[in-house]
Homo-oligomer: A and B are copies of this chain.
Amino acid sequence: MTYSVTLLSGGMDSATLAYLLHSQGRQQTFVSVHYGQRHSVELEYAERLAAKLGGEHILIDMAPLAKALSGSALTDPSIEVPDGHYAEASMSDTVVPNRNMIMLAAAGGIAVAQNASCVSTAVHAGDHFVYPDCRPEFVKAMNVALRVATEGFSKEGFHVFAPFMDIGKHDIAELGHELGVKYEETWSCYRGGTVHCGRCGTCVERAEAFTLSGVPDPTIYLDPDYARSVLK
């Protein structure tokens, strides 16, 4: 049985991944990263989810690193989080350079320290065109790099588990629905706050996933009409 170090953001994708691994009876250690994101409320969602699924939760503070990676609306308070559909060009403002590689590298170190044999990540097909470090080529390259970097530490041979690589967010919602994921216990909105704004890229993407999959959307949006109006 493969023991997984699972990257858990508190959003719907990684929550579904955690439920999937849990349903397979795998042991998990959950890793969340505070990188100075303004929507750090997601980390509280991650913590509750980890407790619910019975895995250790490790929160890594990488906020100092984020300062050096300034220029993203996610970490720089002087840049506004843009409204609109995730696919639009403006959303590239939310790219934190190399964020995914940094998180996978950190999770790889934890996996070695804890004798886990895989790092699991919920990157999916919808991420590809905005984030270069979420594409299948990247996951493949990291698979090789992590295996080489951890040789001699793991008996089974180390790998990156990224089961959503070729499916969309609406497929994830459908799978999660079958697995019994409670999506009201997950957080997506980039603006933070107490309810989802309904206008930023991740809110629109979230609403779209529920609409396309036909799964009931339990989310309370501040502007519920906006998300639906920009669906593609």
Inter-subunit contact A69/B132 (CB<8 Å): no
Chain-B contact segment, one of A47-55, A80-88, A150-158, A167-175: A150-158
Inter-subunit contact A141/B150 (CB<8 Å): no
Which residues from B are CB-within-8-Å of A152?
Answer: 132
Nearest-CB residue, chain B, relative to A104 = B105
Q: Taking A97-B113, A113-B97 as contacts, is the C-beta distance between A64 and B60 under 8 angstroms?
A: yes
Nearest-CB residue, chain B, relative to A153 = B97
Residue A98, interface by CB 8 Å: yes
Chain A contact-residue range equals: 35 or more
Of the residues B58, B133, B146, contact of A149 by C-beta under 8 Å: B133
Q: How many Å from the CB of A160 to the closest CB on chain B?
A: 11
Give residues of chain A (90-148) contacting chain B, Cβ–Cβ below 8 Å.
Answer: 96-102, 104-106, 108-110, 112-113, 132-133, 135, 137-138, 141-142, 144-146, 148
Which residues from B are CB-within-8-Å of A109?
Answer: 65, 68-69, 96-99, 101-102
Residue A222, interface by CB 8 Å: no
Q: Taking A65-B109, A102-B102, A113-B68 as contacts, is the C-beta distance between A153 and B141 under 8 angstroms?
A: no
Give residues of chain A (58-81) contacting chain B, Cβ–Cβ below 8 Å.
Answer: 58, 60-62, 64-65, 68-71
Inter-subunit contact A145/B149 (CB<8 Å): no
Inter-subunit contact B153/A106 (CB<8 Å): no
Instruction: Give chain A's interface secondary structure class.
Output: helix
Which residues from B are CB-within-8-Å of A148?
Answer: 132-133, 135, 137-138, 141
Q: Taking A144-B141, A145-B138 as contacts, is the C-beta distance between A101 and B97 under 8 angstroms?
A: no
Instruction: Give A residues with C-beta under 8 Å from B.
Output: 31, 58, 60-62, 64-65, 68-71, 96-102, 104-106, 108-110, 112-113, 132-133, 135, 137-138, 141-142, 144-146, 148-153
The 28 sampled A-B contact pairs (Cβ below 8 Å) are: A58-B68, A60-B64, A60-B65, A60-B68, A62-B62, A62-B64, A69-B110, A69-B112, A71-B113, A96-B109, A97-B109, A97-B112, A97-B150, A98-B105, A98-B108, A98-B109, A98-B150, A101-B105, A102-B109, A104-B105, A105-B105, A132-B150, A138-B148, A138-B149, A141-B144, A141-B145, A144-B144, A145-B145
